[in-house]
Amino acid sequence: MYRESSEVTVSGVPLYQQVKQAVLAALAEGEWKQGEALPSEKVLSNRFQVSIGTLRKAIDELAADTILVRHQGRGTFVAIHNRNEHFFKFFRVVGKNGIKSYPVMEFVDFTRRKANAEEKEKLQLVDTVDVYEFAARQTLDGNKALVEWICLPAALFPDLSLERLRSRKSTLYNFYQSDFGINVIDVDERVRVGTAERSAEWLALQPESPVLQIRRIAFSYNTQPVEWRISVLNTENYEYLGKESV
Amino acid sequence: MYRESSEVTVSGVPLYQQVKQAVLAALAEGEWKQGEALPSEKVLSNRFQVSIGTLRKAIDELAADTILVRHQGRGTFVAIHNRNEHFFKFFRVVGKNGIKSYPVMEFVDFTRRKANAEEKEKLQLVDTVDVYEFAARQTLDGNKALVEWICLPAALFPDLSLERLRSRKSTLYNFYQSDFGINVIDVDERVRVGTAERSAEWLALQPESPVLQIRRIAFSYNTQPVEWRISVLNTENYEYLGKESV
DNA sequence: AAGTGGTCTAGACCACTAC
DNA sequence: TAGTGGTCTAGACCACTTA
């Protein structure tokens, strides 16, 4: 920035990319905090000595990356996406009418024990170490439609307890992040038909009733598995959203 | 397009969006085919009577949608989605061992009849028009694991016949494209538990046996629905791949 | 050398928001 | 009414591809 017009050619990096990096650097330094407004486009274009168009292209990309949010007539703000909606994107259960509703969770059956063979495989555990397991019973629109059996490596979640799960704020994955520094950034999900079994009572089904079984591995950075869960869905009123068209 | 400068304000739709829709319309009409080059930006901006910058913004979005591909110094091309691997990406059935194997298809039960209520809804048909329906029995690694019941609007697939289906080369979606000019670019899929019923015999199950039911709408440009299919999967040896981690 | 897309400018007018 | 982002223009020069 603050360059001669030739510097762009010399460095080989497009000006708008340099502007983007400069904005990211200012964000990293804490010049503007989450939720705060940035200076106007005119002020920023003057500060970085680029045209409005170039400044806008940089901001466009930051908005596309959901780092900034723009509101016509109000200004450009630092996005707040440490909260629910960001992690909610992994929730792929939808009503047959197409409506995605927010689940109410209730945690039960909390245990700590040795990992079994499948858990060792899915979580890539080398030795037979401890895991936490618990059930998250979920109610959607008042319907008891979903139970998730969640298995976590004890080493990654020190001193996890049922009380901490129940007293958490916001989503489960947000809780992983705020209390254990674990960021879930991707999941692998496979779906098959199963039987209700230990989930039957909550779902008001027979143990041998067919249900949708969604088997998920959640990954942190470097595709390290941090959670293994089996979700059991009664598809009488709900469906699994395999792929949503754009 | 070919508008007075005031028309943009009147319609309320941004010019570049109008340009984008006009390009999509030309694509849908087959003005430029897959792999072909579009006219240069200068020619297009002149044709649509917009500035280069506005034209570029429209093309930018189409490139982001992977409908067009731009090559600096060469031109802008209609993205080639006709290779098998591209259509194969919509095939989300995978062995429990994680291996994705190529299906062998066999077409049966070909009929032409009036659309029923659900077909009308899914295919966005306004009147009660004709549809073709047929079953694609699929064998994976020698296992009869999957039957797909496919429903197509007759108007979009003139003179479709069982013989043409059977004598096609490559994938079904490639056949839609080469023989009917229909490009499937996106799908919406929802999954529930169902019963085998009319698919039972082929899957070697009882009619009341639980199976995975995958309900797909396939879309062409402008999110026009062009195919409605219900896939019936025996999940004894196979699973539905909901989300694959990157 | 000619033609393409990639970047960039220096404005303009508009719709929307806040005061 | 003033300030913001959203859209749009009519050029310019650049890097890259092809011939």
Q: For chain B, give the percent of residues with pLDDT over 90.
A: 69
The pLDDT, as a whole number, for residue A82 is 57
Provide the chain A residues 163-222 that lie in CB contact (below 8 A) with chain B.
186-193, 210-212, 214-215, 217, 219
The pLDDT, as a whole number, for residue A123 is 97
Chain-centre distance for alpha carbon B94:
20
Nearest DNA or RNA nucleotide to A17 (CA to C1'): C7
The pLDDT, as a whole number, for residue B183 is 85
The pLDDT, as a whole number, for residue A1 is 41
- CA dist., res. A180 & res. A132, Å (int): 14
The pLDDT, as a whole number, for residue B53 is 92
For all residues of chain A together, what is the average pLDDT? 88
The pLDDT, as a whole number, for residue B174 is 86
Evaluate if residue A7 carries a pLDDT over 90: no
Contact A243 B188 (CB under 8 A): yes
Contact A240 B242 (CB under 8 A): yes
What average pLDDT does this structure show over B218-236?
93
A11-20, B63-72, B117-126: least confidently modelled range = A11-20
With CA atoms as reference, the chain B residue closest to A244 would be B188
What average pLDDT does this structure show over A193-212?
97
Evaluate if residue B46 carries a pLDDT over 70: yes
Contact B211 A193 (CB under 8 A): yes
Please list every residue in chain A whose beta carbon sits closer than 8 Å to the beta carbon of residue B189: 241-243
Question: Which ranges of A33-185 does DSSP label H, i.e. alpha helix?
Answer: 41-47, 52-64, 84-88, 117-122, 162-166, 172-180
Structural element, H or E, at residue B58: helix B52-64
Contact A242 B190 (CB under 8 A): yes
The pLDDT, as a whole number, for residue B82 is 59
A195-209, B28-42, B109-123: least confidently modelled range = B28-42
The DSSP 8-state label assigned to residue B59 in this structure reads H
- Select the more confidently predicted residue: A183 or A60: A60
What average pLDDT does this structure show over B62-84?
85
The pLDDT, as a whole number, for residue B9 is 35
The pLDDT, as a whole number, for residue A8 is 34
Compute the radius of gyration of chain A from its Cα atoms. 23
